Structure 1
Amino acid sequence: MTRSPYQLSVAPEVLDRLHPRLRAYFGPVPTGHVGRGEGRFEVVGTPRRWLWPLLAWFARDAVMFPVWERDVPFSVENRPARVRRGQADVLEARIAVRAHRTFHFRSGDRTMVDAITAEPEGLTDHLGRRGRVSALLRTEVDAEGPDRGALRLVSTRVTFRALGRGWCLPAVLTPRVTLVERFDDDADVQRVSLVLSAPVVGTLYRYEGAFRYAVVPDARRGPDAGRGRGR
């Protein structure tokens, strides 16, 4: 991978405002390498137990989980991949970064899967193993202020894939994803915060924490490494 999906979708002057340590995280993962990180989440999930049956449905495809836990160890792996996207009759293999975030819950390990691609409409996150839920993302990087150098991703459209095409929810029903990644120089860690919210209801799901990350040679790379499935 010579350019990451972020570099293909976001204006260079925006990425230039990133903290130097974040440029490596959102840059390309070289062939034969993998990005690995380990850390802890302060919180994961939602205390609203009436949402857990819905989250259990998303858990089957490794999107979200019916939990509410604090101080959760986790690991992340970012790998270069090719993900097939487009209409059912015209699928294109697009450059992607596929992430696996493994949460070490008290009840056992659970892994969240997603793939970031550069689509004609812009940067897009395809959630789950099959990528049936996609979020078109707006990218922001502050040049000044408390979040200077941090990356903020805000969803502007959520699409569900079924019957060979994408279906968009009406704006009044569409949940919003807000993800903030910033680097804490004092603690020498990368901090991440994700909030999924909906009109009227408010926060549906969130996680926030910190981790350390590096791109290293992929000793476990095999014939299936980096192969995407999303349709």
Structure 2
Amino acid sequence: MTRSIYEQALGEEFKKLHPRIQERFGFSSKDQIASIGQGVMDRIWFNKWAALPLALGASRHIMFPQGGSGIPFTIENYAYRDGFGRETVTWIRKFQFKRSIRHFDATMIYSADRKGIVDYLGNKQHLAVDLDITAASNGGIRIRSGDQRFYEGLLQFTWPAQLTGTADVTEWYDDEREKFRISVNVSSPVLGTVFHYEGSFDAELIPMRHIPLDAKPLREEARE
């Protein structure tokens, strides 16, 4: 039986998650379902000193130099086996600003070699990030980024820690509001907070026999 990549990463700690969080993070490609959500980000903020690198990242669906409040938001999580046979989960996030739709996309796999989840940021899998995943005290799931590796053609290297941003993500279920809530903070040793958003959303599991083609990355990277 194929377990979700988050169950593999958390082991027995997965049982500490709120039942709705277990539901959202507990399905695999064998289940043929997807988690589709929509809601509102109460606040999106970016550091103006980081506008240029954020703009470069936006071209590959990695964050963006735009902020605001009350921003409509959708999230799509599909589980499938990629071209290398790896259990994969998509994170297709769209933020609906007045004059544009911004994307923040990723695909995550469980790496047996690294004994944890590797997050490929963007739509071309050129940036691979190790993730540390734990159960939060409120029954949510906490995800913190670690080493980051760049892959482009024959080029590959690990980014120096002082040149990278560290992401700290917590998603939990609010029983009073009956909504999922999320807080994302990306910080830099040099600039402090670089990018931040927080808000809430509803999500449901729906049958999904085939993954939409536009939900998959434009290319897949074998190197983890």
Q: Does the alignment reach a TM-score above 0.5? A: yes
* Count of residues in Structure 1 that have an aligned counterpart in Structure 2: 217
- Aligned equivalent of 1:7: 7
State the identity as a percent: 29
Matching of residues 10-49 of structure 1 within 5 Å: 10-11=10-11, 13-29=12-28, 31-46=31-46, 48-49=47-48
- Aligned equivalent of 1:50: 49
Residues in 2 aligned to 1:97 and 1:4: alpha-carbon distance in whole angstroms: 9
Is 1:200 matched up with 2:190? yes
- 1:226–1:197 CA distance, 2 compared to 1 (3 A): closer
| Contact preservation (8 Å) 1:98, 1:116 | yes
Matching of residues 54-203 of structure 1 within 5 Å: 54-84=53-83, 92-119=84-111, 120-121=113-114, 122-142=116-136, 147-164=137-154, 166-203=156-193
- Aligned equivalent of 1:89: none
| Contact preservation (8 Å) 2:124, 2:220 | yes
Residues in 1 aligned to 2:85 and 2:202: alpha-carbon distance in whole angstroms: 31
Deviates more, 1:75-84 or 1:64-73: 75-84
TM-score scaled to structure 2, two decimals?
A: 0.88
Letter in 1 for 2:103: T
- Aligned equivalent of 1:88: none
Q: In structure 2, list runs of 5 or more residues that go unmatched.
A: none
Q: For residue 10 of structure 1, report the CA deviation from its aligned partner.
A: 2.3
| Contact preservation (8 Å) 1:81, 1:227 | no
List per-residue Cα deviations over 1:180-205 (Å, max 9, x = no partner).
Answer: 01111000011111111011310011
Q: For residue 160 of structure 1, report the CA deviation from its aligned partner.
A: 1.3
Give 1 or 2: higher helix fraction. 2
Residues in 2 aligned to 1:114 and 1:69: alpha-carbon distance in whole angstroms: 22
Residues in 1 aligned to 2:146 and 2:216: alpha-carbon distance in whole angstroms: 28
- Aligned equivalent of 1:209: 199
Q: For residue 148 of structure 1, report the CA deviation from its aligned partner.
A: 2.3
Q: Secondary structure at the match of 1:7?
A: helix
Residues in 2 aligned to 1:63 and 1:203: alpha-carbon distance in whole angstroms: 16
| Contact preservation (8 Å) 1:80, 1:226 | no
Residues in 1 aligned to 2:211 and 2:107: alpha-carbon distance in whole angstroms: 19
Q: For residue 176 of structure 1, report the CA deviation from its aligned partner.
A: 0.8
